[in-house]
Structure formats: structure tokens, C-alpha cells
Structure 1
Amino acid sequence: MFDKSHFLGLLKEHGTDVELRKIFSYFSSSLDLYARAVRVISSGRSDGSLYLRPRFSTSREEIAALGSAWLRGQEEICRRIGDVEIERTCRRVKVVFAAGSDLDAVLRDDIPHHWLFDGIGDSVRRSKISESDQVYALFEALYGLAADYHLSWYIGDSLFELDVNFDPYFEFWRMGGRCALTESEFLVSNQ
């Protein structure tokens, strides 16, 4: 029986240039997949963690600017998937820098951040160009790099029919950005 979870650590265990090229060679967009995976891998570090963590960090002002770009990106994604309510929320909230512990506390609440993630995730998954076991296994491997669905969607962009842009998320993540969308604020923090 096929179990996609067997592929969770694939890219961590087989991350050399040759191995990555071979893994992605089974997909028509192999060059794009390879280039995006290399960008993520080279922007991360493991340092005793099971998953990649951002290698870089930046100032509060830069994280706020990158967070603002990601918020605009999410607003655009909501427009494309037809989530008018969350699109309005994205449009009206203010970007606010928060301490990591405050962000963690807010993320435990039932906030628009979680609804947005679910809506984007459902839309992205429905738009996969293939329902094959290989595509499922690849997305499990992509998720396994950093335990981050947004990064897996950024890398696997060419495997979706839905025209959305996760580049702002990648730029935000690579500089250590974390976020939470509430009814009134888009909280950003860095690792």
C-alpha cells in the first residue's frame, strides 16, 4: 500500500545537487522545482532541528515590510480563490511587530489566520495538475523540508493550475518571518 509519509524526509536525506536533480527529473517542470528547492534549502539551516529553519534574520522594520508584502500576497490569493471576507480582512488590518511569545499565544486562538490557511490550502490542493502518487509523495517530501505548507506550495508552484504567488512568503520566511492574521492586525515576528 502506498504511504506518502514514507517520503517526508526524502529531500533532507537526499539533498545533493545530483540527487535533487534526479528526484525532480520525473516532473515536467523539473528545472523550476529544482531551482525553488535549492533556494529554500540554501536559505535554511538545520542546527540540530528536524526541519529547516531560516538561516537569516533582519530588523523589525524589514520583517514588517516583508510581512506587509506577504499580507498583500495573501489578499491577492483570497481575491483569486473568491474568499471575499478574508480578502477584506487582509485589506483593512495593520501590520504590527510582536514578540514571538505574543504571536504564539495569538496563534492558539480561533483567528482569521487559520481560516485563511484552510482556504488557501483547499484551493491549492484542488488545483494540482495531477492526483498521482508521485505528486502526493513529492508534496510530502517538500513539506518535510521545513514542516511548512506555504514553502512546499512555493517550491511546487508549477504543479498547480491555480495562478497564485508564494514568492512573498518565501522572502518573509527566509528572513525569519512568522505571522498571525487577526481581525484587526497582521502580527509579524522574527525567529
Structure 2
Amino acid sequence: MEVEVAQASDLRLDGSKVQARVNGRYVSIFNVKGELYCIDAICYHAGGPLTVGDIEDVDGKACVRCPWHNYIVTVQTGEKLYQKLVKTEEGKLVPGGWDSVGQRQRTHRVFERSGAVFVVVDEEGSFESDKYSSDEACGRRLVSSGGSFGNPKPNPFGARGAGGQGRGAFLGMKNLVSRVTSGHLFGADGKMPFKKPQQ
């Protein structure tokens, strides 16, 4: 089911982002050169606040770098990228080209309609980011305590769009959405905590 997470004006600028909680899952929506992308906001590797960083170009791909372990993840496909090491003629190892280890971070469908931004959570298959995607302790590190929580606006046409054959608009009311366009992390700088927080 599609869930409204933001106004289009919140994501109008290139590089802007919105953190949201949809169907219990922490996600981030990015504007990259006018295109919207949505990925799980919590890093698949160790539950870090992956999407607090800015978008950076890595080998022509828009990526976020996790502040905990510097893992680089593409916002379009959720792939983890790494830079190969190559041996020179002198036998030294130097940075080579970029490669992917495959999709680790779940991506979701996002679109704009009538001045609003909607997310459709992808729940098919299994990805490594699933293990942390709804973790409350990880979410507290991602979303500031001042974030507003409320009910999203469900699709008035039901889950299947304007045909009205969906399960009904009111099912979306149980999904909480947190819209945070600015804020801070618990731990302030997003660095990995020394001790696992109490749940």
C-alpha cells in the first residue's frame, strides 16, 4: 500500500532528504538530480544510521556512506560498493576500480503525485538490511527525539489505485510516519556508540 510521507516541497532541492517510518520500517527518501529514491535508512552491516550522510558520487553512482564503518551503498539499487586493490608492476597495492558485492540494502518504490510524496514498501524477498530496518534502538540513533510522529495519509483510492479495488484507505492509518527534515542523532555526530544502548 502506498503511504504519503512528505510534501513534494520537502524534497524539491537536489540532495534533499526526508527520514520516515513506514509500516514500522525506517526509510530515507532522497532527491538526486530531480529523481526520488527510497532505501532502508539503517545500515545492513551493524545497524548504523546509514542515511545521515550526504549523497556522494562514487563511480558515477549516487551513494551514501555509513558514518560507522564507511560502507558505501547506492541509493538507486541498495548495492554495497567497494574499491578493488590492484598490484602495480613494482608489487605495490593501489586503489583500482569500483565493484559491487550485490544488493544489501532494501530499496522501495517512491513517487510524487499532486504535491505529495508516497512510498510503497517492498517486502518481497529477503535482504540483509531487514534485520535492522525496524529496530527501535537503531531508529533512536537515526531520528531525533524532536521528530514528529503521526498517521500518514493513505491513498484515498485504496491499495490498488484509482480503480478502487484495493483493501481500503483506512488500513494505512495504523502506519506511523515520522517526518524529519532536520534534526540530530542520539550521540550527536552519528559515530558508533561505545556501548550498545539499552532497549
What TM-score, normalized by structure 2, do the two folds share? 0.25
What TM-score, normalized by structure 1, do the two folds share? 0.26
Structure with more relative contact order (C-alpha pairs < 8 Å, separation 6 or more)? 1
Instruction: Identify the structure with the greater strand proportion.
Output: 2
